[in-house]
Amino acid sequence: QVQLVESGGGLVQAGGSLRLSCAASGLTVSNYTMGWFRQAPGKEREFVAGLSWTGGTTYYRDSVKGRFAISRDNAKNTVSLLMNSLEPDDTAIYYCAADSTRITSRVPRQYEYWGQGTQVTVSS
């Protein structure tokens, strides 16, 4: 049974920082392309950040470049998203996802496993 469980969401003021964590079971994160997506009310789910299965390549949507950083801890089998300089437009439910084909994609349908999401709210 594959499970991805996000944690670390909450309420933060604009300009603040937050670290999200994705705990994986039933799969080893070092064997998958891992990604973070987000969805705000009334909007489509959008790509935020990705990490290659080798751990050697990261990629981000333009609006978070220089502010967010994706990483993984192989010993804990977790993937994290460090979010700095948060803005109100970052408010959304954030989802962790995994792709066994190891394609570096920013398209949601490429990812076969998904977590339940964690709410991030950034106040102005």
What would the pLDDT profile of 98-122 be if each residue is shown by its tens digit?
999 988 899 999 999 999 999 999 9
Distance CA 45, CA 38 (A): 6
Tell me the percentage of the chain whose pLDDT exceeds 90.
Answer: 97
Distance CA 76, CA 28 (A): 10
H helix or E strand, kind and range, residue 123: strand 118-123
Which runs of E-coded beta strand occur in 17-84? 18-25, 33-39, 46-51, 58-60, 68-73, 78-83
Q: What is the pLDDT of residue 104?
A: 87
Distance CA 24, CA 20 (A): 13
Distance CA 67, CA 86 (A): 8
Q: What is the pLDDT of residue 96?
A: 98
What would the pLDDT profile of 10-24 be if each residue is shown by its tens digit?
999 999 999 999 999
pLDDT at 58 over 90: yes
Q: What is the pLDDT of residue 115?
A: 98
